[in-house]
Amino acid sequence: MRGGVIGVAQMGPIAKSESRPQVVKRLIDMLKEAKGRNCRFVVFPELALTTFFPRWVYQLGDPELEAFFETEMPGPETKPLFETAAELGIGFYLGYAEKTKGKHYNTAILTDGTGKIIGKYRKVHLPGHVEPDPSRKGEHLEKRYFDIGNLGFPVYEALEGRVGMAICNDRRWPETYRVMGLQGAELITLGYNTPVGLGEPFQAAALANFHNSLTMQAGAYHNACWVAAAAKCGNEEGFEMIGQSMIIAPTGEVVAQCSSLEDEVISARCDFDQAQYFKREIFNFARHRRPEAYGLITERIGAGDPLPPVESF
């Protein structure tokens, strides 16, 4: 079967004081649990190796800030995760803060069952602010600490199929899924750290879980692909983050979901061939779309002209 049993490894809070080896041990423990579930691939969260440091204000170049970033992957402290994955024969998605050639990225990698890195993605849609906002109860300063991703949304050959990656805020944007869907993605993997209670309107905070599932279920259905999403969640250093890690089928249905705000592994049998009916019949772009019609709409809107009547399409 193409695809197979896929696991999502949600993480509870990571304290600022936790060391890399301590965090890596938590990842390894969940990797072993996933192996017990017969998983062949596991999705870890965004920034899975550290606390969510964009909540604090640092000056760029501050040694404490720089310590959150990885300069190599795997490095001495993360190598045990790769070695364990190779021993177990499990591939994984891992989000982390990357420093390379003077640039800083919110990054995710994809590995195969031998521990070899076969894909990389750098976050495109950076939320939050550059400068702190004293009117808010908390900060979200990703724009301050990360450069915009420069790798696009590539899709890689993995699990006998095509696998793409996204990170957190990317999941809210339809084009994230569409760009990978047009490349034939059969599984989209993503991790997130989504805080609430930073000063956003009450309604936005109250609907955070609804919008989390809404965007991913719509993306999965519209692009006929599986979505496997892992949260870092719970009360981390006094700040609340949503959980609701889940696995979504190409039908848009949630087939597995975490029920806690702690370290938790869920899994589901993800048959890539299950997506083929929807790719072939429902969302077959070549069969059901007329590029010339969409081009005409774009031209008319750009010129301020009224749209043509429906019967002209």
Residue 152 domain-assigned? yes
* Residue 297 within a domain: no
Domain at 125, CATH number:
3.60.110.10
Containing structural domain, residue 120: 3-282
Q: Is residue 123 part of a domain?
A: yes
* Structural domain includes residue 291: no
pLDDT for position 294: 55
Q: Which residues are catalytic?
A: 46, 123, 168
Count CB neighbours of 254 within 10 A. Answer: 16
Domain count, the chain: 1
pLDDT at 22: 98
Say if 296 falls within a structural domain. Answer: no
Give a yes or no: residue 309 inside a domain.
no
- The pTM of the full predicted model, rounded to 2 decimals, is 0.91
pLDDT over 90 percentage in the chain: 81
**In a domain? residue 223:** yes
Alpha carbon of 197 to those of 55, 111, 172, 187, 280: distances in Å?
A: 12, 35, 19, 32, 43
| pLDDT at residue number 276 | 85
Under-50 pLDDT residues of the chain: 297, 300-301, 303, 305-313
Let me know if residue 234 belongs to a domain: yes
Residue with structure tokens 């760029």? 60
**pLDDT attached to residue 301:** 47
pLDDT at 267: 98
Q: Which residues touch 87 (CB under 8 Å, ≥6 apart)? A: none
Please give the pLDDT value at position 200: 86
